Amino acid sequence: MNYIEERPWGKFEILSDEEYTKVKKITVNPGGVLSYQFHHNRSELWVIVKGEAVVKLNDIEYTKTYGQTISIAACDKHNIRNEQETDLVFIEVQTGGYFGEDDIVRIEDKYGRDK
């Protein structure tokens, strides 16, 4: 069984955790929003597989739907939110030198988590 972690906005499931990449399936509940954040040590590629996402990347917002992608370079500020009434699901492929959750630098967080 893959590792699943609940978050205030939904949950993530680790599909693959290798030395060279980490792959997650991320589910964002209706009304959920991930913190506006960046990472020093990794880049991410997001693929929307269910629902509609509003992605904020370096202060610019984009709407993404099924099959669309967004590429996030290391140190790019980013978040994703679900304004729909059904779950948003996307696949996150991380590349870089380190994939730990402690490489999240939060700028803003709806749920009051540490920055």
Q: Could you list the pLDDT tens digit for every one of the 115 residues in the chain?
A: 579 999 999 999 999 999 999 999 999 999 999 999 999 999 999 999 999 999 999 999 999 999 999 999 999 999 999 999 999 999 999 999 999 999 999 999 999 988 6
- DSSP conformation letters of the chain: ---EEEETTEEEEEEEE-SSEEEEEEEE-TT-BPPEEE-SSEEEEEEEEESEEEEEETTEEEEEETT-EEEE-TT--EEEE--SSS-EEEEEEEEES---GGG-EEEE-TT----
Q: Does pTM top 0.75 for this prediction?
A: yes
